[in-house]
């Protein structure tokens, strides 16, 4: 009797083991999943990046007071800390001050980007409301823009230096030599005829002087260069004319 029970148990266990299917690896089903029989799974919306206001940033009490261009073409900004009314400056590409680094300067837009502990804030000199905290995702792009702007400043500085090194071109005179003398003689005669402008320090040639005497513009002179006055008692009548 006992032998029969043992044999029965062994037989039942064998049948149960044979009826249990083998577990297939998950990779066998990957081809089915790749075909997406149930459609594309919905995308999980990315959580929007939180940008803190300027009032909660390291620059809450900072004010951009000025932007200056140095002799070498680099840029410097003046920062006022309204908390204690202190003042400090930052140079583009220079050492940080109070742990704050000058990341970028827009000279024409009157703006500057300050960075501290991985946080970047753009301060506006013309409008305090224009200041803003730059999202962390945009800092690298702003650094790239800052580098491009620095290159443009360097190019502007290079062109300015080249302009200073250019030799000054002295304009060539219109008249030289005899042509210049003739021009001055003619211009002197025009001034004397008009009588409204002071004469030039130019001595008229005897021919031009005689011409103006003949026209009545100049009084006659004697051989020694003195004005000739008639000695027949008509000097008064002469000057009246």
Binning the chain into helix, strand and coil, the percentages to the nearest 5 are 40, 20, 40
Report if residue 27 sits inside a domain: no
Q: Examine the domain organization and report whether 129 and 199 are in the same domain.
A: no
Report if residue 104 sits inside a domain: yes
pLDDT of residue 64: 93
Report if residue 124 sits inside a domain: yes
Q: What is the DSSP letter of 85?
A: T
Structure tokens at 93: 């590409």
Phi, psi of 77, rounded to the nearest 5 degrees: -120, 150
Q: Examine the domain organization and report whether 94 and 159 are in the same domain.
A: yes
Q: Examine the domain organization and report whether 60 and 158 are in the same domain.
A: yes
Q: Examine the domain organization and report whether 82 and 115 are in the same domain.
A: yes
Q: Examine the domain organization and report whether 147 and 204 are in the same domain.
A: no
Q: Examine the domain organization and report whether 135 and 67 are in the same domain.
A: yes
Report if residue 234 sits inside a domain: no
Phi, psi of 9, rounded to the nearest 5 degrees: -65, -40
The helix or strand, by DSSP H or E, that contains position 129, with its residue range, turns out to be: none
Per-residue pLDDT of the chain (241 residues; tens, 9 = 90+): 444 454 454 444 554 444 555 666 766 667 766 767 666 666 666 566 667 888 889 999 999 999 988 877 778 999 999 999 999 999 988 899 999 999 888 888 899 999 999 899 999 987 766 788 888 888 888 788 777 766 666 676 777 777 777 777 778 888 888 888 989 989 888 998 888 888 888 888 888 888 888 888 888 876 655 565 555 555 444 444 4
What is the spatial distance between Cα 134 and Cα 120, in angstroms, rounded to a whole number?
6
Structure tokens at 223: 């051989």
The helix or strand, by DSSP H or E, that contains position 201, with its residue range, turns out to be: none
pLDDT of residue 81: 93
pLDDT of residue 17: 46
Report if residue 48 sits inside a domain: no
Q: Examine the domain organization and report whether 161 and 178 are in the same domain.
A: no
- Convert 67-96 to b/e letters by CB count within 10 Å (16 or more is b): beeeeeebbbbbbbeeeeeeeeebebeeee
Report if residue 14 sits inside a domain: no
- 192: domain range? 172-221
CA distances, 70 to each of 73, 76, 113, 162, 226 (Å): 5, 7, 18, 17, 66
pLDDT of residue 240: 47
Q: Examine the domain organization and report whether 60 and 160 are in the same domain.
A: yes
Report if residue 39 sits inside a domain: no
Residue with tokens 């309204």: 82
Instruction: Provide the edge-to-edge strand list for the sheet that holds 132-134.
Output: 101-106, 111-116, 119-124, 132-134
Report if residue 11 sits inside a domain: no
Residues 6+ apart with CB under 8 A from 156: 73
Residue 171, Cβ neighbours under 10 Å: how many? 5
Q: Examine the domain organization and report whether 120 and 73 are in the same domain.
A: yes
What is the spatial distance between Cα 203 and Cα 219, in angstroms, rounded to a whole number?
15
Q: Examine the domain organization and report whether 85 and 118 are in the same domain.
A: yes
| Domain edge (last residue) among 147, 165, 183 | 165
Q: Examine the domain organization and report whether 148 and 186 are in the same domain.
A: no
Q: Examine the domain organization and report whether 71 and 148 are in the same domain.
A: yes
Query: Total structural domains in the chain?
Result: 2
| Domain edge (last residue) among 165, 182, 209 | 165
């Amino acid at each position: 009797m006992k032998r029969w029970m043992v044999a029965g148990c062994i037989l039942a266990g064998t049948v149960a083991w044979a009826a249990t299917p083998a577990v297939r690896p998950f990779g066998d089903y990957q081809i089915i999943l790749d075909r997406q029989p149930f459609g594309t799974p919905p995308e999980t919306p990315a959580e929007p990046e939180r940008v803190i206001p300027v009032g909660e940033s390291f620059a809450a009490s900072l004010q951009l007071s000025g932007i200056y261009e140095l002799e070498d073409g680099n840029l410097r900004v003046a920062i006022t800390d309204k908390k204690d009314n202190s003042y400090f400056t930052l140079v583009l590409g220079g050492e940080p001050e109070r742990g704050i680094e000058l990341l970028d300067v827009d000279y024409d837009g009157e703006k500057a980007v300050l960075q501290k502990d991985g946080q970047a804030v753009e301060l506006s000199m013309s409008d305090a409301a224009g200041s803003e905290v730059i999202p962390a995702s945009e800092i690298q792009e702003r650094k790239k823009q800052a580098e491009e702007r620095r290159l443009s400043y360097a190019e502007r500085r290079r062109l300015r230096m080249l302009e200073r090194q250019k030799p000054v071109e002295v304009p060539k005179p219109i008249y030289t030599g005899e042509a210049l003398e003739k021009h001055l003689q003619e211009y002197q005669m025009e001034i004397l005829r008009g009588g409204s402008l002071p004469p030039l320090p130019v001595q008229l040639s005897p021919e031009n002087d005689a011409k103006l005497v003949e026209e009545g513009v100049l009084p006659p002179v004697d051989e020694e260069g003195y004005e000739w006055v008639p000695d027949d008692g008509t000097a008064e009548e002469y000057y009246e004319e």
